[in-house]
Copies of this chain bind each other. A is one copy, B any other.
Amino acid sequence: MTVTETTDTRTDTCAGPPQGDRRPDGKDKYTISEVAALTGLTAHTLRWYERIGLMPHIDRSHTGQRRYTNRDLDWLALVGKLRLTGMPVADMVRYAELVRAGDHTYAERFELLKATREDVLSRIAELQGTLAVLDRKISFYADAGRALASERA
């Protein structure tokens, strides 16, 4: 059995700013600059991702130019999400290697994802702690502003 994993971003119920994935549909071949425009990464970075092993094999045109597929864009979308969590690139490369290695790495990928999930949860908690600190400071300054205003009155 081979279960093909595709991050089908069309079913993404991703909250937040809708900067998501405006791909001309029906298309499945993109030049590097098109991918750069779609992902917000530079062409340099895309080539660099490939060099360090973060990308699967990318198709080439008959003259050797890269032709990215929708699946490559799906992968880049996942990489983008992981990047937001602060995951080091080396760890993402590790995950990419597991995917390339085949089905027998499912368990390891599963563990890696769960660990990442825990990581994200604790980052969220950290940020909420910071938010509390900021809110206290903000109300301090709001009060101070009012005190200064009444002094001027």
Contact = CB atoms under 8 A, between A and B. Distances in A.
Interface residues of A, number: 51
Interface stretch (A30-38, A49-57, A63-71, A127-135): A127-135
A5 B140 CA distance: 8
Majority-rule SS of A interface residues: helix
A128 B127 CA distance: 12
A74 to B, nearest CB: 11
B13 A85 contact: no
A123 B127 CA distance: 8
Interface string A104-121: 001101100110110011
Nearest to A121: B131
A110 B38 CA distance: 36
Interface in A69-125: 78, 81-82, 84-86, 103, 106-107, 109-110, 113-114, 116-117, 120-125
A115 to B, nearest CB: 10
A153 interface: no
Given A114-B138, A120-B127, A133 B1 contact: no
B114 A16 contact: no
Nearest first, the 5 A-B pairs at minimum CB distance are A110-B141, A81-B130, A14-B129, A16-B129, A117-B134
Interface of A: 1, 3, 5, 7, 12-17, 78, 81-82, 84-86, 103, 106-107, 109-110, 113-114, 116-117, 120-135, 137-138, 140-142, 144-145, 147-148, 151
